[in-house]
Amino acid sequence: MAINEIHQGDIGTIFEITLQDADGVVDLTGASITDFVFIKPGGTKITKNGTVDADPTLGIIRYTTVSGDLDEVGCWQIQILLAFGISSSWSSDIGGFKVHSNL
């Protein structure tokens, strides 16, 4: 039995990503936008504001799901959008995860 599955309707699932580029961990000090962008299996796009770790030099960003977030079963896509003021914006690689049905 898998213990790390994400299920439809789950609340409190933590998405935690350490952002890296060719030079290593991305320093998130001063990031003005830290968004998680999700594409649901049906194609709907939702954007949720992530929070940066207490030490932004670690490059860690998190989002914890709330009621209604994980409402579709299937394969989802995820990407992080960052901005540092108006002079710099950045998008992460696109990742994926599966939301499983319940019994």
Closest residue by Cα to residue 73 from 5, 3, 2 = 5
Kindly report, residue by residue over 52-81, the tens digit of the pLDDT.
Answer: 999 999 999 999 999 999 999 999 999 999
Residue 1 has pLDDT above 60, yes or no: no
Closest residue by Cα to residue 93 from 33, 26, 42, 29 = 26
The pTM score is 0.90
Kindly report, residue by residue over 25-55, the tens digit of the pLDDT.
Answer: 999 999 999 999 999 999 999 999 999 999 9
Report the distance separating Cα 38 and Cα 1, nearest Å.
26
- Domain 6-100: homologous superfamily in CATH: Immunoglobulins (2.60.40.10)
Q: Residue 87's pLDDT is what?
A: 80
Say which residue, 66 or 85, is predicted with more confidence: 66
> Any bridge partners for residue 34, and if so which?
82
